[in-house]
Copies of this chain bind each other. A is one copy, B any other.
């Protein structure tokens, strides 16, 4: 990566590079400020003439499949992360490509996890040039140290679909792990020893890649039903013994937090929703699979029962807690973007009201609307939030890149966006003067709930009015900040970062929202 990157200040006041990995980029133009031009990416037309009439697309191994896909230096290899920290396929694919002599590959995962830290070796050997995609843990750390040859590009789940659809990233070979597949390439995540529920993150890859390989440890006779991923997009099918570690693909049970502070936050969130009048018949909400989110759902469930209020739909991060709502009749539907535990996998497999959704339907901003903006409220986390309600989910206050964006940015168009965060972590305050890395503009974040009080964005006078007479601890954000700084002994230290970009954060429309800088 050249050190002579030109930087401009974007509409959020952040300095961002004008080119990323050799491509010109549009700086963030403000929320809703950018309108795309042109047409969607057009993959090559294929013909049945070139595929076996029997439908049997199996080849003996991944090496054969990659060779038949024309693996070359510099290609973009994509994978999905529905197997989360249990995934074995991404590293298998990249190590196979490396063994075959490929160099300078770009790895384009929908997210990467600590279990994939072997990719660091592949970057050091030159087989992988850089990663574009969420980097959780060691890979993000490696990136922040300035060791990656290209810039990291962090995109939201919807932003990744947008980038593929709009041709910003052209995938040469998609290598798609499938808990269940047939020899034609139809695949789903709802059955098999490696079941993971939805396969939504793999769909854009299949639709738009030049070549797609399905890798499965559970081959069934045609047809694999439901065909979440259509074999008509698939070139080759590879059978392997195992696509991953089931224990880390889904947790047997997801756990509600036991921390008294987190429980307090969760209860505040639920009470806020109730008291602000958001918990009305037919409402909808989205919650993640973290301990605080699960606790919030449990609190809200009690309140819904008590008030006899039924939701029209809930989105997640599906877990046992959402499944319970469905089965108890407290929601008509679950729209499931990612399936986190075995209860949710089983529910998706058996209950037509538990709908597998994709980032296209849920999150893609370059589409004719999406689900995210229809949701009444969403509860999200953050690593930092600043006094202007700007949010950061990717770096810590020390500047290290340790988390992906997930669907976080996409969810900010919900009717009410609530950040549920502890006021400090490891004695580092979460409410800061200015976020280390801007991931979500403050104008889109409505409420910050901590164990020390609830701050409402002054732009949301309606919410301030709605809870004025409640018993909730509504406080100015600066007041909570100051209290926490007293406890922690001051503001967080400024990160010791250089002026060298190591990654960029894209906004949902493909523009560049912020830069992650090398940490010295």
Contact = CB atoms under 8 A, between A and B. Distances in A.
Nearest to A373: B53
B352 A225 contact: yes
A163 to B, nearest CB: 11
A41 B39 CA distance: 9
Contacts of A364: 232
Contacts of A54: 373-374
Interface stretch (A30-38, A247-255, A290-298): A30-38
Contact of A233 (B165, B335, B368, B509): B368
A38 B312 CA distance: 44
B51 A369 contact: yes
Interface stretch (A124-132, A320-328, A353-361, A492-500): A353-361
Given A48-B367, A225-B355, A232-B367, A40 B39 contact: no
A47 interface: yes
A223 B374 CA distance: 10
A305 to B, nearest CB: 21
Interface string A32-67: 101111111111111111111111010000000000
A153 to B, nearest CB: 19
Interface string A395-423: 00000000000000000010000000000
Contact of A370 (B40, B48, B166, B350): B48
Contact of A368 (B235, B313, B335, B370): B235
A248 to B, nearest CB: 28
A333 interface: yes
A509 B368 CA distance: 31
Contacts of A225: 333, 352-353, 355
A370 B234 CA distance: 11
A38 B42 CA distance: 9
Nearest to A236: B368
Interface of A: 32, 34-55, 57, 165-166, 184-185, 212, 221-223, 225-227, 230-235, 282, 312-313, 333, 335, 350, 352-353, 355, 360-361, 364-371, 373-374, 413, 509
Given A40-B45, A232-B369, 16 more contacts: A34-B47, A34-B49, A35-B47, A38-B44, A39-B42, A41-B42, A51-B368, A52-B369, A53-B373, A185-B368, A222-B313, A225-B353, A230-B361, A231-B361, A232-B370, A234-B368
